[in-house]
Amino acid sequence: MRAARHAEDTAKASLDVVQKQLNAGQVNQLAVLNAQQTYLTAAVIRVQTEANRLSDTAALFMALGGGWPAACTTPVWRECAMGDAPAQRPEPQASAK
């Protein structure tokens, strides 16, 4: 995770330098766009890394007996965590006659 943060910080610093160079007329807009793309890609990777860490932490918690959502009807925890699991249907009650 530190590596992803470092990559994002480095890409942001590079973008800042390229923007200053553009303002000084030393580079063209394409250089700025490339630096922006690099920075945004690094930011997305950092977010994905954090999401994976949190997801793995939740999986470990559940594997160690930390519980399971009561409304989850699937054994695949990622489906429950991401909201893709089908909702638990209530059992029909027998009618009293």
- The dihedrals phi and psi of 62, each to the nearest 5 degrees, come to -70, -35
Q: How confident is the model at residue 1 (pLDDT cuts 50, 70, 90)?
A: confident
Convert the pLDDT of each residue in 23-36 to its tens digit: 999 999 999 999 99
Look up residue 83 and give its DSSP letter.
T
Convert the pLDDT of each residue in 25-78 to its tens digit: 999 999 999 999 999 999 999 999 999 998 898 888 878 877 666 677 777 766
Task: Give the CA count within 13 Å in the CB-facing half-sphere of 19.
Answer: 8
Q: How far is CA 64 from the centre of its chain?
A: 24
Q: Find where tokens 């470990």 sit.
A: 60
